[in-house]
Amino acid sequence: MVVIVTEGKSDIEFFEEFLKELDISRERYEFKNFEGKDNIFKLNYSIYNEIEKELDIIDKLLIVVDADDSKDSSPIRGYKATEDQLKELITNLDFKIDIDYFIFHNGDKESGYLESYLLSVLDDEQKVCIEEFKKCYRYNLSDKFVFNTFYKQKKYPFDFSHQNFNELKEKLINLFE
């Protein structure tokens, strides 16, 4: 079995759709919702104890987090800082199974969220429309706000064959081999 560690419910919803698209049976994986990025980096977080007790039935672990914005005050923000901390976490967990990670980013591997990752696969016309709206809107709109306002209700109107999904698709296919 593969365990997918996520920050929260939105990640799980996305992965359920994506894994269904890849035709990977639901019986082959389980999610662990850490209810926030910071909890994933706490070695003593209770869910890691659950995972450790189940290592005899777990083949692989995938940790999925947002890059977030490096300008945020938390030390584990931005792609590079997140990647460095993930590598350290994997070493410190010392689970005797394969562990991999995926960081949601906005395309430049500097910052980003699940929502900016999903918005990156929209067609050019939709992207222009969003940018024009952001310019004329009085307040700064985050990708999370844009996604939740304009796209979430459509239940992932995304083309999973888009090239921006290739890295994640390859990682998941390898994970389930």
What value, to the nearest 5°, has the Cα angle with vertex 102 and ends 125 and 20? 70
Q: What is the mean pLDDT of residues 93-97?
A: 95
pLDDT digits (tens, 9 = 90+) for 105-148: 987 778 889 988 888 888 888 888 888 888 888 777 777 777 76
Into how many domains does the chain fold? 1
For residue 134, CA distances in Å to 77, 113, 137, 162 come to: 24, 18, 5, 24
pLDDT score for 68: 92
Domain that holds residue 121: 2-175
Instruction: Note the pLDDT of residue 157.
Output: 60
Confidence of residue 150 (pLDDT cuts 50, 70, 90): low
Instruction: Tell whether pTM > 0.95.
Output: no
CB atoms within 10 A of CB 156: 15
Helices 166-175, 9-21: inter-axial angle, 10-degree rounding: 80
